[in-house]
Structure 1
Amino acid sequence: MNDFSELENQLRKLRPVQPSADLMKRIERTLTEEGSTFTAGVLPRERRFHFNWLSLGLGLAGATALVLFALLRFEQPTKKTSTLASVTPAPVFSTNSNAQFVPAGLTQVVYHTSDEGLHFDRKSDQPMRRVRSHSRETLQWRNPKTGASLRISYPSEEVSLTPISGQ
């Protein structure tokens, strides 16, 4: 049947040998000693302060985004009013003076235009697109009798709101 049946029978008959008396005494003595500490598998660890930088970074990024959103949300649009022209009286020209300047030219250079996106005004039912442009205007006058010229240059900023219709 089985070639190993004889070997299996011999292995079943085997019994462990009794430990020696000397081994038993040494084990008892070691267990009764008070000074011995068993450290197998139990190692004390120092408690360290571990700071999670990722959570701090994400928290600060979220707070920054919230502050920026609040600033943009509550920003009031700047309205360009021409109060200077309505307050300033028109200059009086005398016809008999030799120092009369005649307008000779106007130059307007737009050096920066930015699209500020959609703007939802509380007074309007539809959204508006806000475009801000920065320019420099130069006015020039000449006196035809003396040949003298006068040139004035100043920066200006214009904000235009264009209604957007849904398509």
Structure 2
Amino acid sequence: EAELKQLRPAAPSVELAQRVERALVEAPISATRTAGVLPRSAKSRIGWFALGLGAAAVAALFLLARLSVFETVPGERTIAALPPAPANIFVPEELTRVVYDQRDEGLIFPAGEQEPVRRVRSHTRETLAWRNPETGASLRVSYPAEEVRFIPVSGQ
């Protein structure tokens, strides 16, 4: 890093400086590029005024059109009749029970019992489905369940 800090750029040659100077003298003034500085255009306040006037005219037309939509003919009132709501009767359609895991946890000796029992644990997912026959709507409920069964073992 110390060596890099000591490095300095080489001085431009005299020939390069002369070529740059000649190019600047020979180039016409209109051909020189600016650094992004452009002359400002004259601001026109009439444009903003016309835009505001046009927006006000559109708003007025919109309000007039909206008011004419709500006008009704006097004496001609009708009440919309609603169809009767369908009965919300759901009929059981399906019951599914999927066993994901079943383990034999071995023999246990319950208190107060003479014979041992085998404990079997099952993990399942039960899904119940109902359907409304009139509307075709369906409802499906799924939940996990755990079941522990004790199976008597005969002592042979």
TM-score by length of 1: 0.42
